[in-house]
Amino acid sequence: MKLAYWMYAGPAHIGTLRIASSFKNVHAIMHAPLGDDYFNVMRSMLSRERDFTPVTASVVDRNVLARGSQEKVVENITRKDAEEHPDLIVLTPTCTSSILQEDLQNFVDRAQIEAKGDVLLADVNHYRVNELQAGDRTLHQIVQFYIEKARKKGELPTSKTEKPSVNIIGISTLGFHNNHDCTELKRLMADLGIEVNAIIPEGASVHELKNLPKAWFNLVPYRELGVLTATYLEQEFGMPYVDITPMGVVETARCIRAIQAILNQNGATVDYDDYINEQTLHVSQAAWFSRSIDCQNLTGKKAVVYGDSTHAAAITKILAREMGIHVVWAGTFCKYDADWFKEQVSEYCDEVIISEDHGAVGDAIAKSEPAAIFGTQMERHVGKRLDIPCGVISSPIHIQNFPIGYKPFLGYEGTNQIVDLIYNSFTLGMEDHLLEIFGGHDTKEVITKTISADSDMTWSKDGLAELNKIPGFVRGKVKRNTEKFARDRNIEVITAEVLYAAKEAVGA
């Protein structure tokens, strides 16, 4: 076991709470000790919601431990049912409260006797899955619950919509640019003449879930959320689904052609080739820009990519295939999805890294010395320390990555946003030249720590002064080479003389 102060994916209950709070008129009861109830603060701050987050903590304290939790949990469920009149209450423990090994299903059954709305226990293993896996499982569980409920009442639809229609599965609160992506996907579907039957879970009513089978197909834009639900609907109703993320001009075209094939197999006659060509040439600026003189400055530059499997795979393909940038390595923290990720990116990068250890990821970045990083908020912090620019392309993210302005990553407008992000994430030659002339980052103090916490190297005052004179865009490399030179020779303090000797020895 290892103590971590940074997690790329949160604990399981965060995923369950994200799903519950995404639905309309659904309340979540979190069975947890004080300290595990930070979700409300996180969601309120990051998603800038005007309403209170519909999550209540049923606090486990010493008094509860002394006499058992059932009475308090049942009371909290029935109280919220009476106060809020939700359609559904979802009960979830946390990793901490799961240690108690209580029969929470019994709590739910007891509460359901008095509650007017539905009560459901989130059926996830809090020791074995993370936030993303739990969210996927919870969405599937809620959809299955209401499909089965409608089936028992004979309320399931028996026919499809008259016109081609789609369910968009996986748009949720705290998702990376999810609300903007959703708007772009609705626009894309409208352009293709496809009606949106449902969008789940964000803003959906659980009572509408019984109508999911009316759609012609399901679209799952993110691998992290929605695949289990789409697979279930395919097994139960024979509904095909498209899980190609429409990010970048190539993958967006591939996604549209997959939709075209499904529609034509189901009796429609559509041909989207002209639409794809028009959008690629005249709406998306990515194809033109990647061939422009500006973008030629990026050809062959080195980059590294790290994030969730969806965004890291898509950005890797865009960098290598659409912009001619050399991806040294691509990585993801979604270890459970490692096989898919490797299959997607292996031909577009030199190396694939599957790890959720932020220290190892930081060291890999330092060793690679890329011209730019594309990663999460943690990689942005790493880039600050190494003086390497970073574009944030995946959760976990900071409030600045929940933009007020319209910034989708999906569809043809999304390609423009991504190209801007990529281009602006590189420090170009003229920028370095101006920084060198006018000061800029070259006047800052040098950070003498490496990414790994095991560095014992000390720099003398004159050594730092000499290091400060070196242009910022190569200073990190010089510093690391010098420290390696000193470490190999058991030199504890790096002076100006040591710096000069290292430059002669290793060409730093």
327-382 tens-digit pLDDT:
999 999 999 999 999 999 999 999 999 999 998 999 999 989 899 999 999 999 99
- Cα 418 from Cα 425, distance rounded (Å): 10
With contact defined as beta carbons under 8 Å apart, do 245 and 222 qualify? yes
Token pair 């999805």 in the structure block, residue: 337
**Does residue 439 come out as left (phi exceeding 0), alpha (psi in the -120 to 50 range) or beta?**
left
For residue 254, what are its two tokens?
A: 């591939």
- Higher-confidence residue of 447 and 190: namely 190
Residues 6+ apart with CB under 8 A from 269: none
Hey, what are 403's tokens? 């933009």
Spell 243-270 as b/e; 16+ CB within 10 A means b.
bbbbbbbbbbbbbbebbbebbeeeeeeb
Give which of 85, 11, 20 is closest to 53, Cα–Cα: 20
> What tens digit of pLDDT does each residue of 380-426 get?
999 988 889 999 999 998 887 788 888 999 999 999 899 889 888 88
Other beta carbons within 10 Å of 112: 18
**Number of other CB atoms surrounding residue 160 within 10 Å:** 18
Q: Is the pLDDT of residue 33 over 90?
A: no
What average pLDDT does the segment 484-495 reach?
86
Cβ atoms of residues 317 and 341 within 8 Å: no
Place of tokens 């919601």: 49
Mean pLDDT of 141-148: 97
pLDDT, the chain, mean: 87
Q: Report the range of poorest mean pLDDT among 65-69, 101-105, 390-394.
A: 65-69
Tens digits of residue pLDDT in 240-254: 999 999 999 999 999
Q: pTM for the full model?
A: 0.84
Q: Give residue 66's identity as a one-letter amino acid code.
A: A
Reduced to 3 states (helix: H, G, I; strand: E, B; else coil), residue 80 is helix
Quick one: which of 125, 124, 129, 155 has its CA closest to 141? 124
Q: How far apart are CA 369 and CA 322, in angstroms?
A: 22
> What phi, psi does 161 have (nearest 5°)?
-65, 155
Secondary element (H or E) of residue 358:
helix 358-368
Reply yes or no on whether the pLDDT at 294 is more than 70: no
d(CA 505, CA 459): 19
What pairing do the DSSP bridges indicate for beta strands 217-219 and 390-392? unpaired
- Whether residue 298 is predicted with pLDDT greater than 80 in this model: the reply is no
pLDDT of 143 above 60: yes
Q: What does the alpha-carbon distance between residue 1 and residue 174 come to, in Å, rounded to a whole number?
A: 28
Contacts of 75 (CB under 8 A, 6+ apart): none
501, two tokens: 């000797």
Rg (CA), the chain: 26
How far apart are alpha carbons 44 and 399 in whole angstroms?
A: 11
Residues taking part in catalysis: 294
